[in-house]
């Protein structure tokens, strides 16, 4: 059991849209990611996904509306809901999701990460 400093973890990488694992609990992974630009439309059929904005702003496009998150805001995207994260500027997020969650959900493309790095 250790204290995890988010700033120190974010300082360890620069690659965008490449989540890093920083902790695990009850079958869930705590991940950090730096985002900029738009990601792909996707869904996670069996997993909910929590986004917590640490720095910057995140827009999450849904098919029927848009969620706007600022620093300190979080949103849970329920399983099966198609979504697309978009960050106009570099944005730092913490993600909480089941360990078997693929970052691109039901889509496989150049952004798909089958193995995540622990930092």
Q: What are phi and psi of 20, to 5 degrees?
A: -120, 140
> Tell me, what's the pLDDT at 29?
96
Tell me the domain boundaries of the chain.
Answer: 6-118
Rounded Cα distance between 94 and 55, Å, is 10
pTM value? Answer: 0.91
Q: Name the helix (H) or strand (E) containing 9.
A: helix 6-10
pLDDT tens track, the chain, 119 positions? 799 999 999 999 999 999 999 999 999 999 999 999 999 999 999 999 999 999 999 999 999 999 999 999 999 999 999 999 999 999 999 999 999 887 877 878 778 778 889 99
> Tell me, what's the pLDDT at 30?
98
Q: Which CATH architecture has domain 6-118?
A: Sandwich (2.60)
> Tell me, what's the pLDDT at 103?
81
Q: Are 44 and 106 in contact (CB under 8 A)?
A: yes
> Tell me, what's the pLDDT at 115?
86
> Tell me, what's the pLDDT at 104?
73
């Amino acid at each position: 059991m250790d204290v995890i400093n988010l700033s120190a973890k974010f300082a360890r990488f620069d690659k965008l849209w490449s989540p890093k694992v920083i902790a695990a609990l009850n079958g869930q992974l705590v991940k950090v990611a730096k985002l900029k630009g738009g990601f792909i439309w996707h869904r996670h059929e069996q997993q909910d996904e929590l986004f917590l904005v640490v720095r910057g702003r995140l827009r999450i496009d849904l098919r029927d509306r848009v969620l706007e998150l600022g620093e300190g805001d979080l949103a849970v995207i329920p399983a099966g809901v198609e979504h697309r994260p978009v960050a106009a500027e570099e944005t730092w997020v913490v993600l909480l999701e089941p360990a078997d969650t693929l970052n691109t959900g039901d889509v496989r493309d150049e952004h798909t990460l089958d193995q995540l790095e622990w930092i």
